[in-house]
Structures are given as structure tokens and as C-alpha cells.
């Protein structure tokens, strides 16, 4: 049994802004199932405090040095189904309306990372593996190896750093090194953390971690190229021997059409057609779409940003609206994209519905009701939505990039293999061509459609294999082969 500590800036069921939260909400439990001592630590945000604080156990108060002052840390604990969650409390840093995007983000997450490392000393708990995630925790391997190297308890920790999205790097001014991180300027001078004249938390994680993972094998290869490397490709190529991709899974208990309490009719592979028809009619009625269980329904659940390929959908709205389909979009993001989708809904009442914002319950209903799930991303480190859609028998149509390429296999009518549809080039005409193929398959080749749905629902989207892959990395680092 190994002691594993996951450090992250968010996690379900407590709080979520992206796919990282899904990982932190599921992966620790897979490690736990396999007999390991698993713990998680994250900031105590305002939303978490409001919804969960009465269930927490207060552990202690200690201090870390930020801006040359000793700043209090309140540490709380929750044992949830055998996994211990720790929460770092500081009202000024974390009890805000949002999680990220503040001018003092560098200071906030320097505090968080220093508080995590001191927490180990306070609790006399030292994990064998510290699994850190994205830029918010990227300095932890550096702090551990530079500031705590004199302490054998910290020296014994092995660090695995997972990149969920390289585009968000945590880049700040070099003055942060001394004032907030307590690191010597030599780590700037020697290039270990230097980036664009400042410092990069993401680069620090890549340089100092013992192993680096990303959330899909394809993305691990892509980020070593200038096109997707976000100017860190040379560093990633340098660490390529210690870099690998591990595809995410999903919580198959939470995302289960057989038991999902958010949908009107539960179903399995055996009655998927009837189940989808009932859920489609219910969704059409609730969203003001024309009620027709035989009409192809296309779903999108996404952040509305340039990365997600929504611009391709906007470019083809006229052609999409001329097809015998309905379109439901759930999401928020760039104002221009939101405005275009509102306009499309206004001009196509009964055919298009745009829900601006996010609703967890509605997302479940869209996955269950839709026939096709559209995900034309410019890049996608892993993607969670295509895994959920397959779980619900909703066929993904994706662009072949990152984790989408690794998980969605285009259907081959000769071998009857494949679980969805895909296109290669980031081009709206290519997307539309494949969409036409999918529409034709749905209406004119029902046996083929049925086979693809069967393949999709039989696809293993759980954490089982991926968790074992991570544990293999951990065992290698600990010399347990």
C-alpha cells in the first residue's frame, strides 16, 4: 500500500470549473479501491465553505511566510467514503466569487502551495507520491526540492505532475520568487523557472517533477511541437523520457443512464432506443423545441471559447439549420459566441435552443436525450464530454486532436468497429461533411446507427485502466517493480 497525496485547485463534488475537477472527484477513489492510502488537498473556496463547512473537522492553525509576513493557515478535514480531503482556508485569498482570474493569483497559489508543504510537517504525514495538477501546484516539486532538501522526510517524496491544459501556465513576475515563494533567484538565472522574463509555475512543474503526465497519449505528443507546445515545447522535449499520456476516465456511477436520477427514463443498452426517445421528448418539451422523438437531436455541452471549436459551428449555422435536425447548446464563455447563438435561437425557434450558463441536471438530460454530440475542438488535452456521451449512447462527432483522437474511433462499416464520427482538419467544411454523413446514417442506415451506439456504450470509459497506468508510474518511481 502506498501513501498518495493529490494536490489540486478544484475537485468534485466540492467545486468545478473544468475537467480537472472531474479527475479529482474520481481518480482518488480508484486508487482507494486498489488498497492505497489516498488523500487530497485543495483550497477552501467560498462556495465550498457555504455548502460543506459544517461537515468539516478543524485540525489546526499554523503559518507560512508570504510577503515577508507570517500568514495564518486554517486546516480542515473531511473523510469522504474513505478518501481524506484537506482544505486550506484563508478567507482573503479564497473566499471570493470566482476561483481564478485575479491580479494576485500568483500570491494566492504561492500561499496554497507553501501551506500544503507545511501541512505535511504539521500532521507528520509524508506521502510517498505527491501527485500535483496544473499550474496552481506546479511550484510544489520545486519548493520541495529547493527549500526542503535538507529534510529527509521531504526528500523521500516522489513527484508526479499532470498537465491538464498547457495553455494555462501561471506566469508571473520574478519578484514572486523571493517575496512569496522564498526561492533563490538562481532558479531564475539558471532557467529552471524563467519564462518570458518572469517565472512560470507550469514550467517549474515540468522541470522539477520526477514524472510528467498529460491526459492523453496524443496530447503528450502534440505538446512537444511548436504548434501545441505553448512555447514550452523545447522543455517538454527535453523531459520527453519522463513524459507520458494517460487518458482520463469518468465516474461511471455518477454518469450512468441506468440509474441517473436527473433523466426521466433510465435505460441500458438493451432498451436504449426507447429510453432515448422518452428523454428526447421530455427535453424538447422543457426547452420549447418541436416535439418529435424521431428528429435527430444534436447536443453541445461546452465552454464557449476558441479552443472548443464553436467558431466552426457558428460558420456553418446556416447549413446546420437547413438539416432535419435540432440543436441544443449548453454553455457560456465568449460574449460574441453567446450573442451568435442567441441570434440563431431567435431565428430558429423550435429547432435551436441555447441555454446560456451551466446546469448540472440539464447536462445529464442533454447527454441522455441527444443522438449526436458535437465536439469540434481546435485542441483537446483529453475531453470528458465525449466519454460521457458514449456512456449514454450518444455518438460523438469530434475533431481528431488530443484525447478526442485517442478515445473516439470513426466507424468502419466493413469491420463494424468504431464508436463515433471524426474529421481531421480544423475546417468547418470538413466538419459539415462528416455531419452530413452522420445525419444520413441516422435516417437512412438504422442498422449501422444501432451498431455504432452499441459500440459506444460498450466502450470502457471508466478509470480502471488509467488508474492502473498511474499506479505503474508510481511503482516505478518507488522501485516496486
| pLDDT (tens digit per residue) in 231-287 | 999 999 999 999 999 999 999 999 999 999 999 999 999 999 999 999 999 999 999
* Residue written as grid cell 499532470: 162
pLDDT (average), residues 117-139: 98
Does position 58 have pLDDT exceeding 70, yes or no?
Answer: yes
3-state SS assignment for residue 59: strand
The backbone torsions φ and ψ at residue 426, rounded to the nearest 5 degrees and listed phi first, read -75, 85
Q: Cα–Cα distance between 145 and 131 in angstroms, integer?
A: 15
Query: What domains are there in the chain, each with its CATH number?
Result: 3-249+464-477 (3.40.50.2000), 269-458 (3.40.50.2000)
pLDDT in tens, 67-98: 999 999 999 999 999 999 999 999 999 999 99
Considering only CA atoms, which of 32, 18, 90, 96 is closest in space to residue 61? 90
3-state SS assignment for residue 433: helix
Strand order in the sheet with 69-80: 57-66, 69-80, 83-89, 37-43, 3-7, 129-133, 158-163, 211-214, 243-245
Angle between helices 139-147 and 201-208 (to 10 degrees): 60
User: What does the mean pLDDT of the chain come to?
Assistant: 96
Q: Cα–Cα distance between 462 and 464 in angstroms, integer?
A: 6
First to last CA, the chain: 14
pLDDT (average), residues 165-172: 96
Does position 481 have pLDDT exceeding 70, yes or no?
Answer: no
Strands 171-172 and 198-200: antiparallel
The backbone torsions φ and ψ at residue 353, rounded to the nearest 5 degrees and listed phi first, read -130, 130
Give residue 172's pLDDT band: very low, low, confident or very high (50, 70, 90). Answer: very high
* Residue written as grid cell 447536462: 363
- Position 358 scores a pLDDT of 86
Strands (E), 280-350: 296-301, 325-331
pLDDT in tens, 324-374: 999 999 999 999 999 999 999 999 999 999 999 889 899 999 999 999 999
pLDDT (average), residues 162-175: 96
pLDDT in tens, 192-221: 999 999 999 999 999 999 999 999 999 999
Does position 480 have pLDDT exceeding 90, yes or no?
Answer: no
Does position 413 have pLDDT exceeding 90, yes or no?
Answer: no
* Residue written as grid cell 456504450: 457
- Position 18 scores a pLDDT of 83
Give residue 378's pLDDT band: very low, low, confident or very high (50, 70, 90). Answer: very high
pLDDT (average), residues 142-160: 97
How many CB atoms lie under 10 A from the CB of residue 271? 15
Amino acid at each position: 500500500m502506498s501513501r498518495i497525496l493529490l494536490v489540486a485547485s478544484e475537485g468534485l463534488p466540492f467545486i468545478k470549473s473544468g475537467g480537472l475537477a472531474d479527475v479529482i472527484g474520481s481518480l482518488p477513489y480508484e486508487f482507494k479501491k486498489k488498497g492505497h492510502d489516498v488523500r487530497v488537498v485543495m483550497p477552501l473556496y467560498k462556495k465550498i465553505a457555504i455548502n460543506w463547512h459544517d461537515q468539516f473537522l478543524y485540525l489546526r492553525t499554523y503559518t507560512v511566510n508570504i510577503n515577508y509576513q507570517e500568514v495564518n493557515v486554517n486546516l480542515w478535514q473531511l473523510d469522504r467514503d474513505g478518501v481524506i480531503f484537506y482544505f486550506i482556508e484563508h478567507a482573503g485569498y479564497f473566499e471570493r466569487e470566482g476561483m481564478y482570474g485575479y491580479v494576485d493569483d500568483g500570491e494566492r497559489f504561492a500561499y496554497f502551495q507553501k501551506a500544503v508543504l507545511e501541512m505535511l510537517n504539521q500532521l507528520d504525514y509524508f506521502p510517498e507520491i505527491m501527485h500535483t495538477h496544473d499550474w496552481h501546484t506546479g511550484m510544489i516539486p520545486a519548493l520541495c526540492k529547493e527549500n526542503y532538501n535538507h529534510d529527509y522526510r521531504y526528500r523521500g517524496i516522489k513527484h508526479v505532475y499532470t498537465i491538464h491544459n498547457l495553455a494555462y501556465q501561471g506566469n508571473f513576475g520574478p519578484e514572486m520568487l523571493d517575496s512569496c515563494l522564498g526561492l533563490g533567484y538562481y532558479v531564475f538565472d539558471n532557467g529552471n523557472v524563467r519564462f518570458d522574463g518572469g517565472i512560470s509555475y507550469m514550467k517549474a512543474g515540468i522541470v522539477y517533477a520526477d514524472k510528467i503526465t498529460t491526459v492523453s497519449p496524443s496530447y503528450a505528443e502534440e505538446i512537444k511541437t511548436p504548434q501545441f507546445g505553448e512555447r514550452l515545447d523545447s522543455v517538454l522535449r527535453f523531459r520527453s523520457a519522463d513524459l507520458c499520456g494517460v487518458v482520463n476516465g469518468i465516474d461511471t456511477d455518477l454518469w450512468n443512464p441506468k440509474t441517473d436520477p436527473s433523466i426521466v427514463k433510465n435505460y441500458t443498452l438493451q432498451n436504449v432506443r426507447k429510453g432515448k426517445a422518452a428523454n428526447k421528448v421530455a427535453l424538447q418539451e422543457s426547452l420549447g423545441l418541436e416535439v418529435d422523438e424521431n428528429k435527430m437531436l444534436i447536443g453541445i455541452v461546452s465552454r464557449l471559447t476558441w479552443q472548443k471549436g464553436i467558431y466552426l459551428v457558428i460558420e456553418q449555422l446556416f447549413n446546420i439549420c437547413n438539416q432535419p435536425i435540432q440543436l441544443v447548446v449548453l454553455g457560456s464563455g465568449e460574449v460574441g459566441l453567446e450573442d451568435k447563438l442567441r441570434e440563431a435561437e431567435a431565428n430558429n425557434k423550435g429547432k435551436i435552443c441555447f441555454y446560456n450558463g451551466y446546469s448540472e441536471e440539464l447536462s445529464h438530460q442533454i447527454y441522455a436525450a441527444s443522438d449526436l454530440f458535437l465536439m469540434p475542438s481546435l485542441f483537446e488535452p483529453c475531453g470528458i464530454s465525449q466519454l460521457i456521451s458514449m456512456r449514454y449512447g450518444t455518438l460523438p462527432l469530434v475533431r481528431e486532436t488530443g484525447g478526442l483522437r485517442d478515445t473516439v474511433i470513426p466507424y468502419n462499416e466493413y469491420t463494424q468497429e468504431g464508436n463515433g464520427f471524426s474529421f481531421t482538419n480544423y475546417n468547418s467544411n470538413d466538419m459539415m461533411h462528416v455531419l452530413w454523413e452522420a445525419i444520413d446514417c441516422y435516417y437512412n442506415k438504422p442498422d449501422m446507427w444501432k451498431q455504432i451506439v452499441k459500440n459506444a456504450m460498450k466502450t470502457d470509459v471508466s478509470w480502471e485502466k488509467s488508474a492502473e497506468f498511474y499506479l505503474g508510474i508510481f511503482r516505478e518511481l518507488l522501485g516496486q517493480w
